[in-house]
Structure 1
Amino acid sequence: MEALFYAVPSLMIAFAVLALVTAVRRARRVRDAWDGGLTAEARCLRTYTTTSGGGNTSVSTTLHHVYAFRTREGREVRFEEAGGPATRVEGDFATVHYRAEHPEHATAHAPARRGRLAAEQGCVLAFLGVFIAGCLVFMAVAHTLFSEAGDLMP
């Protein structure tokens, strides 16, 4: 029973760290694409939504777009991006930003100020940091309680 109070928070911490790494990696790719200096006209090939939640939790919907464009070297590239504008539909054209080294990491999001991207990432990192700290505090309190309970046993 005691192991459960360590295993579950440890698993939650592992998922939080994975989410943190994913968020930082995605922000870095978007920033690199904006800084890459190359643009191309892409066509939206497909749009679809994914939903998560339900039951006793709220449902969230994410809009995804699949784009195709041709690099300056003539290479055909397709990529998928979440969170684009709801007004963009199949067949629409959009300007994509990419780096010559990694055109598959392109983005159709319009460049934003660095401060905005940093603020968004700061909020995500702060939330996940507090979540991880909460899990660690829970584990420490559980350890203390189990230690004291063990001392009370004859």
Structure 2
Amino acid sequence: MEAFFSILPALMIAMVLLAAYRVLGRSREIGRAWRSGLTAEARCLNAYTRTSGGGEGPVHTTLHHVYEFTTREGRAVRFTERGGPATVVQGDIVTVHYVADRPEKATAKPPAHGRLAAGTGFLLTFFGVFVAGCIAFMISAHGVFSGTGDFMP
């Protein structure tokens, strides 16, 4: 039973650390695209939603857009971005920001460095509190099962 209370929180910590890594990576990609100064006009080829959850839990819907643009070098690039504005529909023309060496990591989000930093900081803080809670739970559970915890009768 003690292994269960160690392995499960450890797996949860691993998943949260992976999520933090992905959040930091995408935040870096977006910031780099904004700072590059390279922009292009892109056409929205498709807008769709993905739904997850349901059953006993809440349903989450995420909006995705598929954009296509041509780089200054003449290369056609198509990319999908999630979380864009609901006002952009198929056929709309938007400005995208991209980095010359990785145009497939472009973004159609308008530059908002403060908002990006605040959102990333909030998520990383949440992840940190979650990891700290998992570690506290593991320590507490270890004390209970080893007979040294305060919860033993």
Scaled to the shorter chain, the TM-score interval is over 0.9
Deviations 1:59-103 (A, max 9, x none): 111000000100000001010000111111111111000111111
Cα distance between partner residues in 2 of 1:49 and 1:120: 22
Please name the residue that 1:49 is paired with.
49
Deviations 1:19-55 (A, max 9, x none): 1001000100000000011000001111110112212
Q: Tell which deviates more after alignment, 137-146 or 115-124.
A: 115-124
Residue identity opposite 1:126 in structure 2: T
Consecutive unaligned residues of structure 1, counting only runs of 5 or more, are 150-154
Residue identity opposite 1:138 in structure 2: F
Cα distance between partner residues in 2 of 1:147 and 1:109: 52
Cα distance between partner residues in 1 of 2:140 and 2:100: 51
Please name the residue that 2:79 is paired with.
79
Number of matched pairs: 148
Query: Which runs of 4 or more aligned residues in structure 1 lie more than 6 Å from their structure 2 counterparts after TM superposition?
Result: none
- Relative to its length, the structure with more strand (as a share) is 2
Q: Which secondary structure state, in structure 1, belongs to the residue aligned with residue 42 of structure 2?
A: strand
Q: Within 5 Å, give how 1:55-70 maps onto structure 2.
A: 55-70=55-70
Q: Which secondary structure state, in structure 2, belongs to the residue aligned with residue 20 of structure 1?
A: helix
Please name the residue that 2:136 is paired with.
137
**Aligned residues: CA RMSD:** 1.0
TM-score by length of 2: 0.94
- Sequence identity (%): 60
Cα distance between partner residues in 2 of 1:109 and 1:16: 25
